[in-house]
Amino acid sequence: MKGILTNKPVQVTILSWIALSTLLGLTISNRGLPFLDRLPIFHGQSGLDVLKSAQLNAAFGLVILGLVLLVTRSRREKLSVPGRVTSNREIKYLLAYLVVAQMAGYTVGRLLGIHPISLHLPGTLFGLYDRVSRFEVMMWSVFNVVVYAALPYLYFRRKGYTNTALNLRSKNPRRDYVLIASVLVVEGIGELGGFSHALFGLTPHQFVVGGSLAFVANLFGTGLPIMVFVYALLLPRYIAVTGSPITAALLGGCTYALVHFFEGWTDYTSFFGLFTSIGFLILQYFVPGIIKSTLTIRSGNAWVHLWGYHAIAPHVLIDAPNFVEMFDVK
């Protein structure tokens, strides 16, 4: 831990986080939060309450990060990393592709008469604020799994990368299971105990049906796309270029926030909306992105974060009630 805290990129990150949080606090205390009405779980609360929640979630994320480091302290598995020159070139192509994919998702969503397609459905984590049809759920899942997972995966396989080279095969299944279970249990308790209690309001039938719908839709719409694009492809190349797993993990956190640029609650209609939206995207997704990066780096397996820290917690435990409402499950 001491080595991590003395790392210069980490120190810059901590100072930047404090500065961003302070600036957001000062601005929203005077002007409010422009997208507060799109966060139903904060109904009746203020923008400062949202900021406080983001800080508490980040703090709990550090607990999860500490758990990951503890459970993996004796592991020696390493990510398969391409050469530095190749990685540098491929990162540029992947990030350019990401920008095009984000704009395509926005455009396709508008053309289809639905919300812009991002890596989360509208209402994810924070509750439904607008109607989301079954058609939208289907198109969202199909678009994302094709654009962010299938096409990039097939391209790199055609270039000669094996599943092992893409870190899509476990190097130590037993230890991976232990790591997944440890994170899933602690994260699940934290989410249900502190973030949202909506799951407890479902009947057993609603939980089974809504939970199954949430699992399948989110697996294809966000789980697999993020696992393949960010953690199987970009993260190992960040390590190759920077030579530092810590810096690579920070970049993984930045990328994870970036892929949610058109998150349903964001408001880009004014400069103030742009600033607060980007600010809260960072506060909401940067730390989880680091955790996913660390799970991948310490296990050498891109699948680990998907099962331990994404597909079930939060996207079943938190989002099942949304799917009950969207699909009118009685």
pLDDT digits (tens, 9 = 90+) for 109-167: 999 999 999 999 999 999 999 999 999 999 999 999 999 999 999 999 999 999 999 99
Sign of CA dihedral 13, 14, 15, 21: positive
Q: Tell me, what DSSP letter sits at residue 40?
A: G
pLDDT of the residue at 3: 76
Radius of gyration of the chain (CA): 19
Q: Residue 60 is encoded by which pair of tokens?
A: 């709990």
Catalogue the long-range contacts made by 193-198 (C-beta closer than 8 Å, 24 or more residues apart).
194/56, 194/60, 195/57, 195/314, 195/318, 196/41, 196/125, 196/318, 198/127, 198/318, 198/321
SS3 content of the chain, % helix, strand, coil (to 5): 70, 0, 30
pLDDT of residue 2: 61
Q: What is the reported pLDDT for 194?
A: 80
Question: Can you give the pLDDT at residue 193?
Answer: 87
Q: What is the pTM of this model?
A: 0.96
Please give the structure tokens belonging to residue 78.
Answer: 């390493």
Whether residue 42 contacts residue 129, with contact meaning beta carbons closer than 8 Å, is answered with: no
Note the pLDDT of residue 1: 60
Could you list the pLDDT tens digit for every one of the 330 residues in the chain?
A: 667 888 999 999 999 999 999 999 999 999 999 999 999 999 999 999 999 999 999 999 999 999 999 999 999 888 999 999 999 999 999 999 999 999 999 999 999 999 999 999 999 999 999 999 999 999 999 999 999 999 999 999 999 999 999 999 999 999 999 999 999 999 999 999 887 788 999 999 999 999 999 999 999 999 999 999 999 999 999 999 999 999 999 999 999 999 999 999 999 999 999 999 999 999 999 999 999 999 999 999 999 999 999 999 999 999 999 999 999 998
What length is written for the chain? 330
CA 39/CA 32 separation, integer angstroms? 13
Distance, CA of 155 to CA of 161 (rounded, Å): 9
**Residue whose C-alpha is closest to residue 210's, from 94, 320, 330, 76:** 320
Domain locations in the chain as residue ranges: 2-326
CB 101 within 8 A of CB 259: no
| Alpha-carbon gap, residue 261 to 101, rounded angstroms | 11
Residue 11, CB half-sphere, CA atoms under 13 Å: how many?
A: 6
